[in-house]
A and B are shown apart, each in its own frame.
Chain A
Amino acid sequence: MAVVTLNAVGKTYPNGFEAVKPSSFTIADGEFVVLVGPSGCGKSTLLRMVAGLEEITAGALQIGEREVNDVDPADRDIAMVFQNYALYPHMTVRKNIGYGLKNRGTSTDAIEAKVQEAAKMLNLTELLDRKPSQLSGGQRQRVAMGRAVVRDPSLFLFDEPLSNLDAKLRNQMRIEIKALQRRLGVTSIYVTHDQVEAMTMADRIIVLNGGEIEQIGTPAEIYHSPASTFVASFMGAPPMNLIEAWIEDGAVRVNDGTLLASSGNRTVGPVHLGIRPEDVQLAENGQIPFDISIVEELGARRLLHGELGGQPFTVHVGKDVPATAGQTTVHLKPESLCFFDPKTGKAT
């Protein structure tokens, strides 16, 4: 268990590509932090720098009280779970789980006891004498978890550990991993590009884009107050609606003059107005016309896709709200509106 501090940590690969721009943040003791972002944004690179598998080319990394930039991965007191599990194919489950302990000079009896304990925790007791090739994907995933848990490290690192599982198993393992982490209270960094995983598992989310941190915040903050249009459209399915509008005389209007909201005391000029699809209500006699072209039935909910002020717009309603294609009007919850600067994309 440890605090992890990154002080302007960056990575430039030998070919000159800067995969991670100097980034700083602190992860509290026992916190579960999720790194999320599109493919190639530098999530794995950042995680692997923390693990010591990739050299840190700028800044300083601290795990606990210690600066670990030049510390061997085996000495950083971390455990990592890989996307393809990375089990040792020639070792039994028992040996796979115990290997890290054996190399740290733990006695055979102590190893056996710890392996048994970890196996019990992860329902692996029956499988201890099997080889990885004799296990299902979910079981392999559990062994990989066991290998991390048994070492009782001060930091867990996960690199998309669930992306090779089918949807159902993924949901189940997601909950198990989170519960396990809660119980053990080990500080964790978890990389994923699945925003559902990010939202449900994280204490705090770090959104990365092009090697840069876009926003750090709790899932609620990230969801309801995105710091940029990138975060707004990356997190949430369907993403936040973004409408090009104009602020003048204390009002926000679209091109055709429709009044969307009051602008408070924001400066005059162009703005991107953001609103989550579920924060829009269909209104019988509303002020804002919405032209529905497609109704998507999702069972419990409905997605209404269409146009508002000539721009694509989506509304998310419960299954009890009747909706058909055609003209209607909507109401935007004023407290749910987000304003972004069109030039920088940042929230204003």
Chain B
Amino acid sequence: MKRAGFTTVWLPVALLLPQLSIIAIFFYWPAGWAVQSSFYLQDPFGFGSTFVGLDNYTDLGRNTEYLRIAWFTVIYTCLVTFFSLAIALLLAVKADKVIRGARTYRTLLMWVYAVAPPVAGFMGIMFFDQRTGPITDLFQTVGSDFKLGVNYTDTATAMVIAAVWKQIPVNFIFFLSGLQSIPKSVNEAAIIDNRSATGRFWQVTFPLLAPTTFFLLIINITYALFDTFGIIDTLLKGEPGNNPMTLVYKVFLDGFRGNDLGGSSAQSVILMVLVLILTVFQFRLIERRIHYT
């Protein structure tokens, strides 16, 4: 294959510049700033700051509330990722079987994707409303009293459900197109080779979906960690109280409500490192086992 090349250095640089400057301005610059301010203690009234070294970090390690939130975030991320992937995969497998009506089905599911996270959170509030929410009613019929914003577990459940609901369409679309790219004859060969539909799914279909699943896994973990902010904020109505929250929400709360910019910066730095480790880990460990066709 003939490789095209640039004759000058400046053209490629100029072409890359917009992208690079966006990354620099919106990521590296604030990230660098966060790292720097995580070593300082800000005066709550804005009168300068003092260098405190690693104090902000060590404080976090000793803060039981922070550790509790970290633990909740881990569980929350696992639940949201697992359920939004599993439910989407189930729906996609079912949709893949129906050829007719698949379009309607797909469009209906896709609408949810257009819903913004805070709106999803708001819809969550309506569903889980103490007096009028249909899901609250549902819980009541089985004899449980659902108290959004009051009961810790109830609020956590609502957060997970709203976040999962919001993420299913994206996963569904990717899974469906992944399923449809598996040649029909491969499935048919499997039908002749294996009587059990479950066996065929786990031995043939699922391995062939692995690249899609891996990609979605990364996307979903990132989503659960960061993009559910809007949902959580709306569900908590800005009144965290004793309610569950994720690390990202805690960063916001400490920095903007508590005016503890140093501590909040330290938390962001920890989050950044966490994501970095996670991504490296995923690519190193999981991707090697995946077969790309």
Contact = CB atoms under 8 A, between A and B. Distances in A.
Chain A complexes with chain B: yes
Interface of A: 51-53, 72-75, 78-80, 82-84, 86-90, 99-100, 103, 131, 133, 147
A99 B193 CA distance: 7
B185 interface: yes
Interface of B: 183, 185-186, 188-196, 199, 203-204, 207-208, 210, 291, 293
Contacts of B208: 89-90
Contact of A103 (B183, B186, B195): B195
Give 8 nearest A-B pairs by CB, closest first.
Answer: A86-B185, A74-B195, A100-B193, A86-B189, A103-B194, A90-B291, A82-B185, A90-B207
Contacts of B193: 74, 99-100, 103, 147
Contact of B188 (A72, A79, A86, A87): A86
A107 B208 CA distance: 26
A100 B188 CA distance: 12
For the residues of A in contact with B, the DSSP-based class is loop
B194 A88 contact: no
Contact of A53 (B186, B188, B196): B188
A91 to B, nearest CB: 8
A74 B293 contact: no
Contacts of A88: 186, 189-190, 204
Which of B189, B208, B291, B293: most chain A CB closer than 10 A? B189
A86 B203 CA distance: 15
Contact of A82 (B188, B196, B203, B291): B188
Nearest to B190: A88
A90 B185 CA distance: 15
Contacts of A100: 192-194
Given A90-B208, A133-B293, A84 B183 contact: yes
Contacts of A73: 191-192
Contacts of A53: 188, 191-192
B199 A103 contact: yes
Given A51-B192, A53-B191, A78-B192, 8 more contacts: A51-B188, A53-B188, A74-B191, A86-B188, A89-B291, A99-B194, A99-B203, A103-B194
A82 B190 CA distance: 12
Given A88-B204, A89-B293, A72 B186 contact: no
Contacts of A82: 185, 188-189
Contacts of B203: 99
